[in-house]
Structure 1
Amino acid sequence: MSTTHDLRPLAARLRPQSLEDYVGQKHLLGDNGPLRAMLRSRHLHSMILWGPPGTGKTTLAQLLARATGCQFQILSAVNSGVKEIRAAISGAEQTRTQGQDTVLFIDEIHRFNKTQQDALLPYVEEGVIILIGATTENPSFALVNALLSRARVYVLKALDDTDLVHILERALSDEILGLGAIPIDFPSELRRGLLQAADGDARRLLNLLDLAVQLAERHGDTVKITAQVLIAATGQSWRRFDKGGEAFYDEISAFHKSLRGSDPDAALYWLARMLDGGADPLYLARRLVRMASEDVGLADPRALEMALAARDAYQFLGSPEGELALAQVTVYLASSPKSNRVYTAWNKAQALVKAGTSQEVPLHLRNAPTKLLKTLDYGKEYQYDHDYPDAIAPNQEYFPAGLIGTRFYEPSERGLEMRILERLRWIRTHRPPTREKTPHA
C-alpha cells in the first residue's frame, strides 16, 4: 500500500474518474434522468448547471465530455474575458476540423457581463462549441435571454446525508488521505457533526476533513479526531447563506412568507438562520418595517411602531443583544391580524395616476391666497368640515370630476381595521349618491 502523500487538496484527489463513481444528482443521472437519456444517445447539447457550491458541477461537465468523446476546455469567468473566449473558440475550430466536438466549460458563468455572454452566441448556435456553464445564481437573472434560449438548464441539488456519508467513507480510506497504514479514530457522533458543517457541500466536507486530519492528535499509531479538533477545523458557522445570491433571497422569501402566514415559530427559525449566516441585522430590521406596513397594515397600526422601535433598539444595542428586539417584533408581526388593504389600495392609486392624464383640481378645493384667485372662484363653495355635525360636510366631493366614485381602499374585517370599516361605512352614508359608484378596478 502506497505511503506517498499526494499534495493536492483532498477534493481534487477524490474527484470521480467516471460517471459510475459520481455521487448525487440521481434526478439527472438515474435511469430515467434527462442526462442519462442524453448519454445513451451520445449527443451532448449546451447546458447550464445551476446549483449550490460543492454539488459537482465541474466534475459532471468533465465526465459528460469524457463519456461522449469530446475535447474539454475550461475557463473561469472570474479571470477570463473576450480574449480568452476567442482563444478557446480558435482551439475548438481546430479540433472540429479533426472530427471532434469541444465542450467549453465556463465556471461561474454568471460573472460574465452581457458583452462576454453575447460573444459566445454565434459559436453555440453554429455548433463550434458545446457550452456547459456552471452557476450558483439563478440563470433567469444572471444570464442573457439569448444565451438561455440556446442552452438547457439543469438544477443540481445540495447533497443529502446519504451522499455525503458515501463520500466521507471513501475519503477515510488510508490511500486517499495519504496516511499509509495509520488508522483514523473518528467517532460516529463527530462524523455527524462534520456532515452538518458540510451543509450539503461535498467540497466543504472534504476540505474540513482534510484540515481535521492535519490537526488531529497522534496517539501511537492512531490518528484521533476529537471534538476539540473538529471545532478547530470548522471554526465557524458553515450553513449556506451568501448575503446576496440565491440562498439569500430564498431565505428572505421564506422569512416574509412565514410571517405573513402567521407562523411565529417558522419566522423565528428563518430569522435565526439569516443572522447565523451573516445577514445584516439592519437589513432584516428594514424588512420587518416593510412587513409591518405591507402585511399587517391597519389591522394593527402598532405593528409599524414596534418594527421601528426594534430597528432603533438594534442600533442602540448592536449584536447580539439587539437581535432579541428583532426576534420580539418578528413574533409580534407573525401573531398580529393581517391586512394588505392599504398596500393594495396604494398600488391601485399609483397605477391609476401613471396610466391616466392629469385631472384638474376641483375649484372648491383649490387654494385661494390672493384676491385674483378668489375672483376666479378658487375655493368657492368649499365646505369647512368642522362646521358640520361629526366634522363631515355632507355634500362635498374631493376627487376630480372624472374620478368621482373611484374607490381604492376597502378595509378588511380583521383587527382594528374592522373599526375603520364601520367608520367608513357610516361616513359613506353621509356622502352624495355619486360616491357609491362601482369601485375603481
Structure 2
Amino acid sequence: MSDTNIPLPERIRPRSLSEIIGQDHLLGEQAPLRQMIDQGHLPSIIFWGPPGVGKTTIALLLAQAVDRPFISLSALNTGVKELREVIAESGDLLPPVVFIDEIHRFNKSQQDALLGAVEKGKITLIGATTENPSFEVNSALLSRCQVYTLHSLDETAIQQLIQRALGTDKFLKERQIKIEEYDALFQFSAGDARKALNLLDLVASTFETGQENIINNALVVKTAQQNIARYDKSGEQHYDLVSAFIKSIRGSDPDATLYWMARMLKGGEDPVFIARRMLIAASEDIGNSNPNALLLAGECFRSVQAVGMPEARIILGQCAVYLATSPKSNSTYLAINQALQLAEKTAHLPVPLHLRNAPTKLMKQQGYGADYLYPHDFPEHFVLQEYLPPELKGTQLYQRALNKREVEAERLQQRRWQQQNQQQ
C-alpha cells in the first residue's frame, strides 16, 4: 500500500511519548505518567476522554517504553471467549499490555473476565473510554486501575499538530502548503486531532505539486461540507441516524424505527447509547399516555448494560417496537418546560404559610402550616385548596392530551377547576 492510501493520522502517528502533542498534565516532565515510566512502572490504567486525543497512541507508546508486548482489542468485536484466550496465552514472566478500546461497551461478564487477570498480574490493562468510567466500568475493576482524564486539544495544540504534519509528511511537503487561516480547521476539528488531520489531508488532496497552495477558511468549509462522510464518519451521520430513529418512534412507525436502529448498530453505535435515547423518548414522547413505556425503557437500559451485544439487539428491538406502537403524548414534557420558565421568573415568591413545614413551636406560632387541609380527611381524598402562591392563582401548566390514560387521570383536576370557577 502506498503512503497516500494510508490516512494522515497514521502516517504521522507519534513514535515516542515526547512526540505527543497535548496531554502535558499526564506526560510532561513532572507529570504522573512520565514519572511512572521513568521508574519502569506501568499499572493498569483507564483513559477517559473524547475521541481523537491520543488514547490508543499513548497506550502503545507506554507499552513500548517499558518493553512489554502490546495486544490491542476492540470492545465492539471481542467476546469473553476471545478475552480468555488472550489471557491464557499471556506469559507469567512478562505480562502483556492489553489495550481495550471503548471498554465501557463491555458487559459485566466481560469485565469480570478481565478482573481476575488484572488481580493476578497476568496482564496490564489499559482501557479507553469516552464515557464516565465511574458509571460504565464496574467498581471492582475500576478500583484496580488508575484513571486518567485526557483533554480535547486546544487551538495551540491543533496548530502545532498541523505544522508538524506539513513539515514531516512527504505527501504534504510536495504540495508546498501555506495556511493563511486556521479558524475553520479549529472549528471543524473541535479539539479532535484525528479530525484535524483528516480534514487537512482532504484539502491537500485537491492540490497540485510544484506550486504554492493556500489554505483558508473558505476552502476548508467547502471541502468539509462536500466530504462530510469521509471527514467525520461518526459525527454528522451519527446525529442524523439518531434523529431519524427518534422521529420514527415519535411518528409511531415501528418499521422505520427498527431500520434506523439497525443502521446505528451496524455502524458500531454503542447499544447503551441507543437504550438511553429510548429512555428519554419514553418520557418525552409517550409520557403519561402510557407510563409503562418508561418502565420498559428503564429495564431495557439496565438489561443492555448487563447483557451486551449481540444479544442486546433483541432487547433493543423489543423496546423500540413497543415505544413506536404506544400511544403518544408530550403533555408532561411541555408542562415541565413551562414550569421551569415560570419558576425562573417568580423565584422571589414565598411559599404560602399553610403549605410550610412547622417542625418547631415558634414556627407554629408564626402560622406555619396553619389552615392546611389534609386531603385524606375528605371524601375521595380530595379537598379544594390553593397550592400556588396567590400571585399565580389559576395558573395552568399541565394541559392533558386526548388519550384514555390522561383523560381518566384528569377527573379530580377538572373538579378542582370547576369549584374554583364557582367561587370566583
TM-score range, shorter chain: 0.5 to 0.7
How many Å separate the matches in 2 of 1:63 and 1:100? 17
- 2:125 is aligned, of 128, 131, 146, to 131
How many Å separate the matches in 1 of 2:336 and 2:386? 14
How many Å separate the matches in 2 of 1:168 and 1:34? 27
User: 2:151 aligns to what SS in structure 1?
Assistant: coil
How many Å separate the matches in 1 of 2:273 and 2:81? 32
User: Structure 1 residue 81: deviation in Å?
Assistant: 1.2
Q: 1:340 to 1:168 in 2, by over 3 A?
A: farther
Matched, 1:336 2:345: yes
Q: 1:179 to 1:54 in 2, by over 3 A?
A: closer
User: 1:16 aligns to what SS in structure 2?
Assistant: coil
Q: 1:84 to 1:411 in 2, by over 3 A?
A: same
- 1:100 is aligned, of 94, 100, 107, to 94
Q: 1:178 to 1:38 in 2, by over 3 A?
A: same
8 Å CA contact 1:295, 1:340 repeated in 2: no
Query: Aligned residue for 1:208?
Result: 199
User: 1:203 aligns to what SS in structure 2?
Assistant: helix
- 2:176 is aligned, of 157, 180, 183, to 183
8 Å CA contact 1:11, 1:203 repeated in 2: yes
Q: 1:397 to 1:183 in 2, by over 3 A?
A: closer
User: Structure 1 residue 294: deviation in Å?
Assistant: 4.4
Matching residue's letter, 2:191: G
Query: Aligned residue for 1:44?
Result: 42
Number of aligned residue pairs: give it.
Answer: 290
How many Å separate the matches in 2 of 1:412 and 1:29? 57
8 Å CA contact 1:341, 1:410 repeated in 2: no
8 Å CA contact 1:10, 1:177 repeated in 2: no
Query: Aligned residue for 2:294?
Result: none
- 1:113 is aligned, of 95, 107, 112, to 107
8 Å CA contact 1:10, 1:210 repeated in 2: yes
Report 1:7-406 matches (<5 A).
7-92=5-90, 94=91, 96=92, 99-173=93-167, 175-179=168-172, 181-187=174-180, 189=181, 191-216=182-207, 218=208, 221-225=211-215, 227=217, 229-235=219-225, 293-294=335-336, 297=339, 336-338=345-347, 398-400=375-377
User: 1:128 aligns to what SS in structure 2?
Assistant: coil
- The CA RMSD measured in Å over matched residues stands at 4.5
- The TM-score normalised by the length of structure 2 is 0.57
How many Å separate the matches in 1 of 2:16 and 2:145? 24
Matching residue's letter, 1:215: T
How many Å separate the matches in 2 of 1:176 and 1:207? 13
Task: Please identify the structure whose Cα radius of gyration is greater.
Answer: 1
Q: 1:397 to 1:138 in 2, by over 3 A?
A: closer
Q: 1:229 to 1:412 in 2, by over 3 A?
A: same
Matching residue's letter, 1:201: D
Stretch moving more, 31-40 or 113-122: 31-40
How many Å separate the matches in 2 of 1:45 and 1:56? 18
User: 2:83 aligns to what SS in structure 1?
Assistant: helix
Alignment deviations for residues 258-299 of structure 1 (CA, whole Å, 9 cap, x no partner):
xxxxxxxxxxxxxxxxxxxxxxxxxxxx9x9767644763x9
Q: 1:294 to 1:211 in 2, by over 3 A?
A: same
How many Å separate the matches in 2 of 1:129 and 1:396? 66
Structure 2: 5+ residue stretches without partners: 243-269, 277-327, 352-356, 358-370, 396-424
User: Structure 1 residue 69: deviation in Å?
Assistant: 1.9
User: Structure 1 residue 149: deviation in Å?
Assistant: 1.9
Q: 1:291 to 1:44 in 2, by over 3 A?
A: same
Taking every aligned residue pair, what percent have the same amino acid on both sides?
Answer: 40
8 Å CA contact 1:10, 1:207 repeated in 2: yes
User: 2:82 aligns to what SS in structure 1?
Assistant: helix
